[in-house]
Structure 1
Amino acid sequence: MELKDKVCIVTGAGSGIGRATAKLFADNGAKVVVADVNAAAARLTAAEIGNDAIGVGVDVSQAAEVEAMVAVVVEKWGRIDVLINNAGFGMTGNVVTIAESDWDRIMAVNLKGIFLCSKYTIPVMVRQGGGAIVNTTSYTAVSAIADRTAYVASKGAISALTRAMALDHAKQGIRVNAVAPGTIDSPYFQKIFSQSDNPEKLREEFNARAAMNRMGLPEEIAEAMLFLASDRSRFATGSVLTVDGGSSIGNHLVR
């Protein structure tokens, strides 16, 4: 029970990595706040995992909604021990082809969302004497992929933000780390496959991104989240834990 009775917020927890993380945390004794822009998905996940979990609909790019979420958690449990900043998304486009509005939305959710959730959670952690924050970045922060400029830029910024936050708040007992997943077999990609003319071929192409020649599973990333959220990583801060099946280690795509 790595997180017994700890209060943990997981954003983007209605599906994929966030959902798997919320379930694993609850299995390890945590009181979980399942946060997602899809309120129905958040409530469904909370109902499924039990252990007094609550589902909250929140757009992490909106300060008022984030502040309200934190207030609900503090009112219910009086503390926040762990914040998992996982909410995020991507879309195709390079700097020429992506619409400015799409660029702004990706930055607002992926990057500003971490800023806002941390901004309102850290004061709670300071008052109670510490806590742990884990951000979701990506292997693309160090190994770019084509035609995903805004997504790649946002993830590079998240890695830098993780280090800056870790330095600023270490003496307050707050550890800040990040997980950098590879391509994960999540509902997001399953939808992409279903819309393809050749789903099997497209899946093979995604598998080939990794040296292990497969996509990762949400549960595999959740295990990394648990490690960084728990006392097992108590001497780690400012770290980025890459869990990408070898997507970022070299020229494995050259056959």
Structure 2
Amino acid sequence: MTDFEGLKALVTGGASGIGRATAELLAARGAQVAVLDLDPSPVTKPLLGFRADISDDASVREAVAAAVAELGGLDVLVNNAGIGAQGTVEDNDDAEWHRVLDVNVVGMVRVTRAALPHLRRSSHAAIVNTGSIAVTAGLPQRALYSATKGAVYSLTLAMAADHVREGIRVNCVNPGTADTPWIGRLLDKAPDPAAERAALEARQPIGRLVSADEVAGAIAYLASPLSGATTGTSLAVDGGVQGLRLRPVGR
């Protein structure tokens, strides 16, 4: 497919995991792609890497300006950068709540705010935000993380309403548990990593973790000019967690 031919895209958190898979897919489908990441060193051509700390507004503005200058414009923004958190509402102190909200929600605002003047000049402007299955399913030990992703979903709807008449589409993708380096690090910390992986796989009706490439495919669908009538929506890539209620095996 060459539906992104001639378009310029910016992907945050694009040095690994879902962000890296997305950046590579957009490039394969014709886009020029810049990646923003705290550590862009793993990024290789044809991708362009720029260091940015999305918890710092000056860093974001500088990186977005540099990326857009190098690309020669901007048509697609993928707000994918984020961090995780574990525990119930009792387990994270105020500082941790502020830190994760600042990165996962306000960070998305900072990047979008810096990108909007450039997106307004595009005839195929699209923003895709990365949410989570935690938006629609109550997951244990994920209170703080779930709160941030619920905010991302509401923010997506508000942004879509604010910018639709400017020709900017805004959507979000809600991945289930994905087989990414972040999940790998969580599994490594578990007392029994193999048992924990098996439990995560069993939670998803398809019986396995979602792949980064599968989430990237959904992001590309939402960002593509071929989806010009799609805005203000969320797309679940969660192995069926959101909508399926299967009977136990053998029943």
Give the alignment's TM-score, normalised by structure 2.
0.94
Q: 1:85 aligns with which of 79, 84, 99?
A: 79
Distance 1:25 1:223 in 2: 9
In the other structure, the counterpart of 2:58 is: 64
Name the counterpart of 2:90: 96
Aligned to 2:11: 10
Q: State the match for 2:113 in structure 1.
A: 119
Residues 1:54 and 2:55 are matched in the alignment: no
Aligned to 1:216: 210
Contact residue 129 and residue 172 of structure 1 kept, 8 A: no
Once the two structures are TM-superposed, the CA of residue 73 in structure 1 deviates from its matched residue by 2.1
Deviation at 1:254, TM superposition (A): 6.3
Q: Mean Cα displacement is larger for which, 84-93 or 68-77?
A: 68-77
Does the residue aligned with 2:74 lie in a helix, a strand or coil?
Answer: coil
Structure 2 counterpart of 1:198: 192
Which AA in structure 1 matches 2:222? L
Q: Is the 8 A contact 2:34 2:71 kept in 1?
A: no
SS of the equivalent of 2:203 reads: coil
What is the distance in 2 between the residues matched to 1:150 and 1:195?
A: 19
Note if contact 2:21-2:213 (Cα within 8 Å) is conserved in structure 1.
yes
Tell me what 1:184 maps to.
178
**Partner residue of 2:41 out of 40, 43, 66:** 43
CA contact (8 A) 1:33 1:54 kept: yes
**For the Cα contact (< 8 Å) 2:12–2:19, is it kept in 1?**
yes
Is 1:246 the equivalent of 2:247? no
Q: Which runs of 5+ in 2 are unaligned?
A: none
Give the aligned partner of residue 134 of structure 1.
128
Contact 1:111–1:158 (Cα < 8 Å) also in 2: yes
Distance (whole Å) between structure 2 residues aligned to residue 9 and residue 110 of structure 1? 17
Unaligned runs of 5+ in 1: none
Aligned residues: 248
Q: Does 1:144 align with 2:138?
A: yes
Deviations 1:229-250 (A, max 9, x none): 1112110000101110011225
CA–CA distance in structure 2, aligned partners of residues 253 and 95 of structure 1: 31
Partner AA of 1:218 in structure 2: A
Cα shift at 1:19 = 0.7
Q: 3-state SS of the aligned residue for 1:180?
A: strand
The CA RMSD over aligned residues, in Å, is: 1.5
Deviation at 1:99, TM superposition (A): 1.5
Deviations, residues 195-220 of structure 1 (Å, cap 9, x unaligned): 33322211110001211111000000
Shift of 1:43: 3.1
2:91 partner amino acid: T
- TM-score (ref. length: structure 1): 0.92
Alpha-carbon distance in 2 for matches of 1:235, 1:181: 22
User: Counterpart in 1 of 2:32?
Assistant: 31
